[in-house]
Structures are given as C-alpha cells and as structure tokens.
Amino acid sequence: MSRLLGALLTASFLASPLQSQDSVIARLRRQADSLLSAWRDAQRLAALADSLEQVRATAGSDTIAVGGLRIIVNPSPLPLREAAERAWPVIDSLYGSAAEDLPRYPYIFRAVDPDSSVRRTVLHVGVEVPWDLDVRATTSLLLTTVTPPSLDAALADWLGSALRPTLRPHDEGAAVFIQLVTAPSEAVRRCFLGDIARCKDVLQIGDSTGLLARWYVTPAEREALVTGSFTDYFARGATAPTLQNCRQHRDDACIALLQLLPPGSLPRPLGQAARLVLVREALRAGGRDAYRRLVASPNAAIEARLSSAAGTDIDSLVARWRNDVLAARPRPLSLPWWAGFAAIGWTALLGFCALRSSRWRL
Amino acid sequence: MASLKRWVLVGLTACAVLALAYLPPRGVKSSDKSVFVGQSPQGTRTRQHAQALAEEWRNADAAVRLLEDRQQVKRDFVRASPTIVFRGATLPPHSVRNIETVMDSVWRGLGLGETKVRVTLVVALQQPSGPADSPTPLQDRVAYLTPDSTDRTTCIASLPAGPYWTLVIQGKRDARHEGFGRFAQWLQAGLGPCAFYAAYGTPGRPVQGWLAARNWDVGLYLGSHGIAGERFSSLDLLGNPRFSGFWDAVYALPPATVACLAGRWSGCSAAVLAGAADEATIPIPNVILVERRWWRVQRLLPGERYLGDVARTVGRDGFQSFWSSGQPVDTALALALKRPVGEWTADWERAFVRPIRLGPTPPLGGMAIALAIAVLALAIVAGTASRRQVR
C-alpha cells in the first residue's frame, strides 16, 4: 500500500511541471480569448464612432460637386470650385471612364486659418488645408491628392508612385529627356539612340532577371556605380578588400559587390518620371477605357497591362514614348539680342574705371 | 580733403540710386513666412482603445503560441544546432535541409555545439491577411520564451520572416544574388537572448532581473560581426556628424547614453547599469518581446552587441562567472572585466565611434579673432592710460 502511495506521489511530483505549464497555457488562452472578444466589441464601437465622427466632422460643411469630384469642406475663402473646374478636365483625361468612380472617394478638407495661434481641434477625418491658398495651389492640391481609382500595389511599385494627373506634362517629358541624355548608363544611351529593347530594359518592362548586366552594361559604369553611390556601404568589414579591387578596375569585384546589395536597391538608370510618361502615353493611346484596362488585371505582367491599356504592342508603345520624350527636349536658353552688348558694355565700363583709378589720397 | 568729400558724395549718390532701383516703394512680405503644418489624422478614442486591445491580444497570443510550440515541437536530436520549425507553409524537404545547413554553420560560427539549453527557432512565414474577426497576429517583432521552472532546457525564438525572407525561404526569390550570407546573419540575429541561454545557461537572478528591466537591449546579439553584418549597428542610424540630423538623434537619447558617446566614464557606467538596481520580477512564462525598432529604446549604443563583446573580452569562464553570479550586477561585471564598468565601457564605445564633443564648440578662427580683438582693446586702453596726464 505504502509502495503504491509512494509511486503515485512520485508520479504526481514529476508531472507537476507539465500540469502547471498546461494551466499557464489555459490561463493565457482564456486571457487571449477574452481580449479577442473585447477587441471585437471595441471594433464594432470604433466603426460606429468613426462613422459618427465622419458625420460630425462634415456637419455644416459644403459639398462641391464638379464632374466626378466631390469636395466636402467647411465654409472658407478657399477657391475650391474654381480649382475643381480646372482640375476635373485634367483628371478626367487621365482616368477616362474610370473617373466615374471618383464620387466614391470624396475629398474631405478642413480649411483652417494659417495665421492663428489658436489651438486646433484634433483631426480625425480628412486633411487640413490653410485657407489662404490661391486657385493654382488649390488645383494642385486637388490633383496631387486625388485617389487613383483601383490602383493596385504591383502597378504602384513599378511606377514608384501613385498615378496622378499633372498640370505640366511637358515638364515631365523634359525631365525624362534630360535623364536620357545625361544618365551614366550605356543602356540609356542606346535607348536614346533608338534601341527599343534597351528602352524596355531601362523602363523595367518584361524580363526582370539579370538587371545589373542589362542596366549597367560596361565595367566603367559598374565601377562608377560602386564608387559613386556605395563606397560608404562597402568600405567596412568583409567587403572592404573587394571594394579596393573594384577601385582598381577589377570588374568581377564590382559585380560581386553590386550583387550583395539588398533587393530593390540597385539604382534604376531612369527615374520614375520615365515610367509615368510611359503610362500616360499608354492611356492617351488607349482612349477613355484605357485606364480601366490597365487596372483590370493586377496579376498580369506590366508589359501586358500596358499593351492592353494602349491597345497596341509594347514595342510600338515604347517607341511612341521615346518619340514623345525626344519631342519634349527642353528649349535651349536663349538670350535677347541686346544681352551680349550689355555684357560687353559693362565689362568695358568696369575695366575703364579700374584703369582710371588712382591711389586713394586722404 | 576736397577730393575725399567728392568721393563720399559720389558713393552716397550711388547708394541712393541703387536703393531706388532695387528697393520697391512699398512694403514687402517677410521672407521667413512660417510654413503651415497640417495635423495628421488620429484615430478616435474608441479606435485607439480597439488598437490597444489588439496589441494586448497579440502579446497574449504570441505567448500562447510560444508555450504551445514548447510543448509540441519535437527536438531534432541528430543536430546540435537549433531545431527549426516553419509556420504558415509546408516547405519541401530540400529547402528545410538547406536552411538547417545554414543554421548549423551559424551555430558553429558562434562557437556553440551541444548545449544544455536547447534552442528552437520558429520561423513564421508571412501569410495573406487572415479573417477580419481577429487582429493580425504578431508579425513585426521577435518573441522569445526563455527557460523557466516548467521547462529548464528549452529556449524558443519566434522569428517573423516578413515578405522578403518568406519569398527567399519559399524559393520564390533568387537568394543567389541576394547572398546567403545575409540570410545567415538574419538567422543569427534572430537567435537573440536564446543564444546567450544556449551558451551560458540561465543567468543568475541579479543579471536576469537587470536584463528583464531593460528588455535585453544589451544582449540581443551574441555574434561578433554586428547584428546585420559588418555594415550595421545601431550607431550607424545616427547618421553623419556633419549633418544636423545626427545631433537631433543624439539629443533624443537618454542623458547617460549621450555622456557615454562623449566618452565619459560615469555616463557609460550609468548607461550600462540602468535597471540593475530595480527589483524586477521575472514572470512565468518569461516572454521577451523585442521592439520592432529596438534601436530606438537602447540606453547604450551599439548596445545590441555589448554582452557579446564582454563575453569575447573576458573569455568563457569569466563571462560565465558574471552570468551566473549572485552578486549585484555592477560588482559581478566589474569583477569579470577586472576594471570599473564605466572605464571599460568608455573604451569599448571608443572602438565604434570617436567621442562626440558636448557643449559649445567655437571654431578656431572665431576664437583667434575674439582673442585678437580683446588684445587690441587691452592695448588701446593701456596706451590711453599711459598717455593720460593729470593737470
């Protein structure tokens, strides 16, 4: 009997840590379940509070409707109607038939006095705007904060920004032209000279493998990239000797270093403006439904989406993009005819004064 | 003299002409117009309350998962290095073997073999967002469950893989170009406090309380290369001292941390021993949640490697005596280092960063000019005084 009792006691003693662990898990699980239940209640309340806050924040506000734009704003001197009348055609021309969806995403602004030192109430809904903006600045505000309808993450990632309209598309094209002629990349240069395959490479359309070799074609470019942009990054630790080798024109060392870069950090030879211009061109070519086609298949390759949007094959689209960019070449700086004479005259006058001067005598 | 007057007149006339030409006859706007800064929208009170509850649930849920893992995970007794478990997806056997090989080499690199405290690494692969009827589980912080009285020989690390490493582990992203070395660094950094438990066992009560009070900020990394390879330590995040952002970052740190960066022994001592005097209670289960941006809550820079460096400096036996000591932390650490804590730490800090200069630092040229003016003024006064005549 005593043996049996002893065995039972020993077994219960040995099992006690496991039992206590079980009880801890059970206790924590109960706690988690209780928290989850409380969270669900809180979520419901928060949803209600958010909608009430939205009603409260927009109570007494004006709603301005211009085309598909809906702007909810408190009464203020902001010239929103005029700005919306300017912005709407630009927005409509970019998104085409998809702009019909915009009433679902109204702007909610809170116009505030920018010069007042009175403490403002906490903002829960919308965007604060100073009420002294002029029409141009307000138009720009509407264009830069419009919600692109159904823009997916893949397209936004590739673009590097949201696709929004611009008041000055020519400036964008001019910026891309400057990149085309100044980017230290042989691939970009070949694109500038008309090699459409290289244009696709530098625009990151299609095959995304081996980008390093396709973007930075020559050893000199790779060395310049390492020494110009990543010296600090590679100068310490195990990569320092490889960096030295790269500086001594060892291309294999430069390639090895560039392959060590974190994903996505290899600088693109062309900035995001180039891709924006390409998408704008596709939308222009594809007509009013082009944007809808562009965002219709978020899982498709960018190349296919652009082709579908433009209603043409990708090579033709890229060729059109290139022509647009070349046409947007910035105007060279031109001086008025009299500027040269004025410069020479001033030079002569100052030279004469200098030659005529004598030592100061007091 | 007449010539001088003429030139003065010409100069004044020229000034007047320039003023007429360039200064508009009206008030001008101030060029330093203040920039309007709009508020960022904040959640309503009820929304903030819901978010706080979600955070509490995440912590409780993480603790439950760690405890369940401790109960359920079968140890791989063939390998000395940590058992690796993947959550969120089933990986093909060859992928698992590859990752285990990397972990084996990481383990050997840390100088570890068979250890009394075994480590289990739970790698949580990124999953698509789940149902909306529960908050997203903890995905941005590493969680550790240290050995306790219910299981004295297991330390569990739960390491969220995030989108990038999930793709690499699943073979959907080519790791060849990204470098498997970085993957090894990530795994090594993920071991965190469990690496210390494996190497030196359960710490003595004072050390455990000290580390718990400061959430292990000085014991996040046992390796010698920096938590994200040679190129990264929390000091790098301060930026370049030539830019103002550096000083903004420095003065956002606690005073003792700043003093230690300036090479002051007392500051270093205070930064290291913060929390040592607290009577921290060690909860059971002891779950350590490392902040996502752990470098923002450090009291010593680069604190993540401090204990690892101490261990390498004093040797295994020396560190073991400190680790399991029952003496107060300051005494135990000073005994292990055989030097005052502040002095050793200031030298250690100097190995990473040149001591910053605190207080006003006038440029040399400015000082020279100021001294020259002072000397000139003194000379004039002295000269005047020497010529003074009393009538």
pLDDT in tens, A270-291: 989 999 999 999 999 999 999 9
User: Residue A198 has what pLDDT?
Assistant: 92
> Is the CB of residue A178 less than 8 Å from the CB of residue A192?
no
b/e per residue A223-237 (b: at least 16 CB within 10 A): bebbeeebeebbeee
With 80 as the cut, is the pLDDT of residue A57 above it? yes
- Between B84 and B236, whose confidence is greater? B84
Q: Are B179 and B102 in contact (CB under 8 A)?
A: no
Closest CA to A321 of A185, A158, A176, A168: A176
Cα B156 → chain centroid: 23
Residue B130 has pLDDT above 70, yes or no: no
Q: What is the pLDDT of residue B75?
A: 64
pLDDT > 90 in chain A, percent: 58
Q: Are A28 and B229 an interchain contact pair (Cβ–Cβ within 8 Å)?
A: no
For residue B142, give how far its alpha carbon lies from the nearest alpha carbon of chain A (Å). 19
CB-closest option in B47, B57, B231 to A233:
B231
State the first-to-last Cα distance of chain A, in angstroms, to the nearest integer: 129
Residue type, B304: E
Helix B306-323 vs helix B329-337: crossing angle, to nearest 10 = 100
Reported confidence tier of residue A208, pLDDT bands at 50, 70, 90: confident
Which amino acid is it at B224? S
**How many angstroms separate the CA atoms of B8 and A358, rounded?**
16
Statement: residue B32 has pLDDT above 60:
no
pLDDT at B177: 46
| A18 neighbourhood in chain B, CB within 8 Å | 150
CB atoms within 10 A of CB B141: 18
Q: Which of A39, A53, A128 sits opposite B53 (nearest CB)?
A: A39
Position A263 pLDDT exceeds 50: yes
Give me the half-sphere count of Cα atoms (radius 13 Å) on the Cβ side of residue A287.
Answer: 4
Q: Say whether residue B41 is in contact with chain A using an 8 A CB cutoff.
A: yes
Give the closest-approach CA distance of B32 to chain A in angstroms: 13
Q: With the C-alpha atoms ordered A209, A215, A217, A223, is the resulting torsion angle positive or negative?
A: negative
Distance in angstroms (rounded) separating the CA atoms of residues A231 and A244: 10
Structure ipTM? 0.74
Candidate from A99-113, B98-112, B172-186, B243-257 with smallest mean pLDDT:
B172-186
Question: What is the structure's pLDDT at A359?
Answer: 58
B282 touches chain A (CB under 8 A): no
Tell if the CB–CB gap between A42 and B46 is shorter than 8 Å: yes
HEC string for B330-372: HHHHHHHHCCCHHHHHHHHHHCCCCCCCCCCCCCHHHHHHHHH
How distant, in Å, are the alpha carbons of A178, A310, A322, A327, A335 from that of A174?
Answer: 6, 22, 12, 9, 20
B-chain CB neighbours of A20 within 8 Å are 149-150
- What are the domain boundaries of chain A? 62-149, 159-216+269-327
**pLDDT the model gives residue A357:** 65
**Pick the residue with more confidence: A176 or B167?**
A176
Contacts of B147 in chain A (CB under 8 A): none
CB contact under 8 A, A259 and B68: no
pLDDT per residue over A15-55, tens digit each? 555 555 668 889 999 999 999 999 999 999 999 999 999 88
The answer to whether residues A255 and B173 touch, using CB atoms and an 8 Å cutoff, is no
Does the beta-carbon distance from B178 to A42 stay under 8 Å?
no
pLDDT of residue B97: 86
Q: Residue A187 gets which letter from DSSP?
A: H
Cβ density class A13-25: b for 16+ within 10 Å, e for less: eeeeeeeebeebb
Q: Please check whether residue B175 is in contact with residue B98, taking contact to mean a CB–CB distance below 8 angstroms.
A: no
**Smallest Cα–Cα separation from A123: which of A58, A42, A47, A44?**
A58
B311-358, pLDDT tens digit by residue? 999 999 999 999 999 999 999 999 999 999 999 999 999 998 889 988
Given B38, B47, B181, which is nearest A128 (Cβ)? B38
**Residue B40: closest CA among chain A residues belongs to which residue?**
A123
Which residue of chain B comes nearest to A128, CA vs CA?
Answer: B38
End-to-end Cα distance, chain B:
34
Residue B174 above 70 pLDDT? no
| 3-class state of residue A92 by DSSP | helix
DSSP-based three-state secondary structure for B119? strand
Residue B54, min C-alpha distance to chain A (Å): 6
Residue A207 vs residue A223, higher pLDDT: A223
> For residue B96, what pLDDT is reported?
87
Averaged pLDDT, B21-39 = 65
Q: Which of A28, A122, A126 sits opposite B64 (nearest CB)?
A: A28
Distance from CA of A138 to the nearest CA of B (A): 14
As a whole number of angstroms, the distance between CA B294 and CA B143 comes to 12
Kindly state the tokens that stand for A191: 């694109």
- CA distances to A201, B58, B259, B273, B332 from B213, in Å: 54, 21, 21, 10, 17
Q: Is the pLDDT assigned to residue A346 strictly greater than 60?
A: yes
Number of Cβ pairs closer than 8 Å across A and B? Answer: 118
Do B126 and B160 meet the contact criterion of CB atoms below 8 Å apart? yes
Cα nearest neighbour of B69 on chain A: A25
Assign B176 a pLDDT band (cuts: 50, 70, 90).
very low
- Per-residue pLDDT tens digits for B55-83: 999 999 999 999 999 888 766 666 778 99
Which of B67, B136, B238 would best serve as a mutation to test chain A binding (most A beta carbons within 10 A)? B67
Do the Cβ atoms of B225 and A40 come within 8 Å?
A: no
The string of pLDDT tens digits covering residues B358-367 is 887 788 888 8
User: Can you list the alpha helix ranges (DSSP code H) found in chain A?
Assistant: 2-58, 80-95, 135-145, 153-159, 169-182, 186-192, 196-202, 211-215, 219-229, 231-234, 240-247, 251-259, 272-286, 290-296, 302-310, 314-327, 337-356
Residue B79: the pLDDT is 74
Residues in A closer than 8 angstroms to B134, CB to CB, are 36, 39
Examine the pLDDT at B24 and tell me if it is beyond 80: no
Chain segment A131-183, per-residue pLDDT in tens: 999 999 999 999 999 999 988 888 998 898 889 998 888 899 999 999 999 98
The Cα-based distances of B64 to A28, B73, B145 in angstroms read 6, 14, 10
Nearest to B41 among A35, A45, A125 (CB): A125
Structure-block tokens of residue A331: 């105007």
How is residue B150 annotated by DSSP? T
> Helix/strand/coil (H, E, C) string of A76-89?
CCCCHHHHHHHHHH
Confidence tier at A264 by pLDDT (50, 70, 90): confident
Residue A362 has pLDDT above 50, yes or no: no
pLDDT-based confidence at residue A10 (cuts at 50, 70, 90): low
User: Which range, of A193-202, A240-249, B126-135, averages the lowest pLDDT?
Assistant: B126-135
Interface contact B61, partner A, CB < 8 A: yes
Closest-CA residue of B relative to A131 is B36
Name the one residue in this structure whose structure tokens are 């020519």.
A170
Core vs surface per residue B359-373: b (16+ CB within 10 A) or e: eeeeeeeeeeeeeee
Contacts of B68 in chain A (CB under 8 A): 25
Which has more pLDDT, A261 or A53?
Answer: A53
Q: How big is chain B, counted in residues?
A: 391
Count the Cβ atoms, other than its own, within 10 Å of residue B265: 17
Q: What pLDDT is recorded for position B33?
A: 58
pLDDT band, residue B233 (cuts 50/70/90): confident
Answer whether A245's CB lies under 8 Å from A253's CB.
yes
Smallest Cβ–Cβ distance between B46 and the set A46, A123, A129 belongs to A46
The answer to whether the Cβ–Cβ distance between B231 and A239 falls below 8 Å is yes
Write out the two tokens for B167: 């793709």
On the question of pLDDT at B206 being above 90, the answer is yes
Q: Which two tokens stand for residue A82?
A: 């005029």
Q: Is the pLDDT of residue A256 over 80?
A: yes
**pLDDT at A19 (0 to 100):** 56
Measured between beta carbons, the chain A residues lying within 8 angstroms of B130 are none
Give the residue from B1, B8, B44 with the most A CB atoms within 10 Å of its CB, the best one to mutate: B44
**Residue A14 reports pLDDT greater than 70:** no
Is the whole model's pTM more than 0.80, yes or no? no
Spatial CB neighbours of A160, under 8 Å, sequence gap ≥ 6: A271, A272, A275
Residue in B38, B178, B226 closest to A127 by CB:
B38
- Please tell me which residue, B288 or B14, carries the higher pLDDT value: B288
CB B207 within 8 A of CB B322: yes
Most B CBs within 10 Å, among A43, A53, A73, A265, to test the B interface: A43
Q: Which of A20, A35, A52, A132 to mutate to test the interface with B (most CBs of B within 10 A)?
A: A35
